[in-house]
Structure 1
């Protein structure tokens, strides 16, 4: 028998500054270092769940978009720095 499971966003997302942001802001397709990414980061700047969002993106190895005030290039730089420390 197939069991249906309701998918829910994590509770922290309900407190995110982006939940009420302008729908024109493109969080997923914002190219690193672009004006769109800068607009997203500005919204993230004072977000109460910014750290949780950033940790979620790093844990999931998110490749696209702005998460916790970091775009793809920022996350890759952080991963690279972490790898250099670990080496």
Structure 2
């Protein structure tokens, strides 16, 4: 029998600017190009773990919300660019 592991946020979450942001900001459901997405991106702009957050979203193929200052459409464009470079 295996022992269940507790789910924990990565350590970098402790340093994220969004950790102390207004809880009204909806990071996951912010639609691309919306005021909510712009608000999220503004908070991300000076975040000390922005790059780590963005890399996490890209490597886990995150499809929703704002991560590391990038909306879903930004991440898709970057993934497409990577495919073009690799080809």
User: By the TM > 0.5 criterion, same fold?
Assistant: yes
Aligned equivalent of 1:80: 80
Tell me how far apart the structure 2 counterparts of residues 81 and 4 of structure 1 sit (CA, whole Å).
39
Aligned equivalent of 1:15: 15
Tell me how far apart the structure 1 counterparts of residues 53 and 10 of structure 2 sit (CA, whole Å).
10
In structure 1, runs of 5+ residues without a counterpart are none
Aligned length in residues: 87
* TM-score, normalised relative to structure 2: 0.96
1:9-61: CA deviation from partner (whole Å, max 9, x where unpaired): 00000000000000000000001111110000000000000000000000000
* 1:51-70 matches, cutoff 5 A: 51-70=51-70
Aligned equivalent of 2:48: 48
| RMSD between superposed Cα atoms in Å | 0.8
* TM-score, normalised relative to structure 1: 0.96
In structure 2, runs of 5+ residues without a counterpart are none
| Secondary structure class of the residue paired with 2:42 | helix
Tell me how far apart the structure 1 counterparts of residues 82 and 49 of structure 2 sit (CA, whole Å).
23
